[in-house]
Amino acid sequence: MKNKFLTIGSLALLQIVIVGNLQILPANAGYGAALPLLYLLAIIGFFLPCTLMVAELATTHPQTGGAYIWCEQAFGTKVGFFAVALLWISNLLWYPSIFSLIAANFAYLFNPALAQNKFFVVGFGILLFWGSTLLNCFGIQFSSRTSAICSVIGVILPMILIILGGIFWWLSGNPVAITFNKTTLFPNLFHLNNFGLLIAVMISLFGIELTAVHAGNVVNPRRDYPLSLLISSILLVLLLLCSELTIATIIPVDKLSVLTGLLDAIVFFFQKMHLAQLLTIILLLILAGNIGSVAAWMLGSTRGMFVACQKNHVARFLQKVNRYESPIGVLIFEAIIFSVASMIFLVFPRVTDSFWLLLDLASQITLIYYVILFSSAIRLRYLPVSVKGFKIPGGIVVLWMVMTLGAITSFIALCMGFIPPDNLSKHDVFLFHFIMSVGLIIALLLPGLLWKSAHE
C-alpha cells in the first residue's frame, strides 16, 4: 500500500488545480452575459462526456498510465503511443502560453509594463519552467501534495475572493459592466464568430482525464475516482463561471486583456475598496496557484509519455527515472523543447498574438487526442475487463450516444481552430496558417518517427 496515497480529496484537488486555470478567466469573461449558456452547451457537448468517460475507464482499467493504457487496450500499442505522444506534444506547445501569463502575473508584483515585454516573458517563462521541472523531479507523491496545497491557496481561494469581491461590488452600488438582455444572454451560435466563443469555453475545460495517469496510486479507484470527479466537476464549473461573470461585471469588455485581465480586475477592485495593501498577498497566491496548476499538468502528461516509452522501448533517454521514480528523461527533454518553442514570442510583434497562436495549435492537437479517447471508450466496452468499476448508466446505446457527442464536438472544434483571429494583418495571417500547418504536420509525424526508431 506504500504507493497507494491518492484519496478522494487529493484526487479532487488535483483535478481542480489542473482544469481550474485562473489565467483563462479574463479571456472567457469577455463573453459576458452569454457565459451561462456557453458553459451549459460546453458541458453537455464535451465536459460531461469526458468526465463520464474518465469515471468509467479509470475504475475499470485502474493501471498507472491513464490514456495510454486505455488506447493501447482498445486499439493496440501503436495507437496508444500515438495518442499519448499527441497529448505530450500539445502540452509542450501549450506551456509557453500559460507561462507567458504567469510571467505577466509576476510582473504585476514589480512593474506591470513588463507583462508586454517579449524578452521578459520568454526569459522568465524559461526560468520558471525549469523550476517546475525541478519540482516534478521529486516524484508524484511530493508533487501531488504540493499541487494540492497550491489548489487550495492559489486556485480555489483566489476564485472565492474574486466572487465575494463581485458580490460586494454589486451590493455597494458600483456600476456593472455587463448588460443582461435577450441578445447578450442568447447569442446566435450559428454565426461563425459566436460559435467560436463556445469552442473557447470548451477548451478551457480540458484536462479532467490527466489524473487518471496516477490511477495505480489511488487507494480505492472504484469508489474514489467517480466521487472525486463528481466533487471536482461541480466545484470547477461553479467557481469558473462565477469568477468569470464577476470579472465581466467589474471590467468592461473593451478593457479586458487576455494577459492581464485577471490582475486588472483584482487591482481595480482592491484599489476601489481601499484595500490595496492586500494586493501583494493576493498576487502571490495566484502565482502559487498557477505554478501548482502547471506542475500538476506537467506530471500527468509526462508520466503518461514515460509509461508509453518504457512499455514500447522508445528512446532510451526518455525511459530514465531518478531515485524518486520521477521520469527525469522526459522532464528534461520537454524542458529543452519548451525553451525552443518559447522563441515564437519573439516572432510576432505582440505577446497576445503569440499566446493565441500557440494555444490554438496546442488545442488542435489535443482535440485529435480526445477523438481517439472517446473512440477508445466505445471499443473498451466490448472487451472483457478484469476489474469491476463504474459504468455509464443506460447500457451500450447511451455509451455510444455520449461518446459520439464528445467526439463530434471535438472534431467541430478542431475544424474551427483553423480560422485566424480577426485582428491579424495579412502577413500575420500567412504566418498563422504556416505555423499551424507545420506544427500539425510535425505533431502528427513525430510519434511515428519515435516509434519507427525503436522498432526497426
Q: Measured between alpha carbons, how far is 94 from 103 in angstroms, rounded to an integer?
A: 15
Whether 279 contacts 286, CB under 8 Å: no
- Residue 191: CB atoms within 10 A of its CB come to 10
Residue 200, SS3 per DSSP: helix
Write the pLDDT tens digit of every residue in 300-310. 677 778 878 88
- Is 85:334 a contact under the CB 8 Å cutoff? no
Classify residue 2: in a domain, yes or no: no
Question: Is 185 within a domain?
Answer: yes
- DSSP, collapsed to helix, strand or coil, labels residue 430 as helix
Query: Each residue of 207-224: pLDDT tens digit?
Result: 888 777 766 677 777 788
Nearest CA-CA partner of 18 in 334, 263, 298, 369: 298
Instruction: Give the pLDDT confidence of 36-46 residue by residue, as tens digits.
Output: 888 998 999 99
Domain holding 415: CATH number?
A: 1.20.1740.10
Domain extent at residue 46: 8-454
Q: Is residue 1 part of a domain?
A: no
Q: Which of the 8 DSSP states describes residue 181?
A: S
Q: Residue 372 CB: number of other CB atoms within 10 A? A: 22
Tally the residues of the chain. 456
The structural domain count of the chain equals 1
| Residue 60 near residue 388, CB atoms below 8 Å | yes
Across 66-82, average pLDDT: 88
pLDDT digits (tens, 9 = 90+) for 373-411: 999 999 999 988 767 878 898 889 999 999 999 999 999
In a domain, 94, yes or no: yes
Nearest to 82 by CA among 240, 308, 274, 248: 308
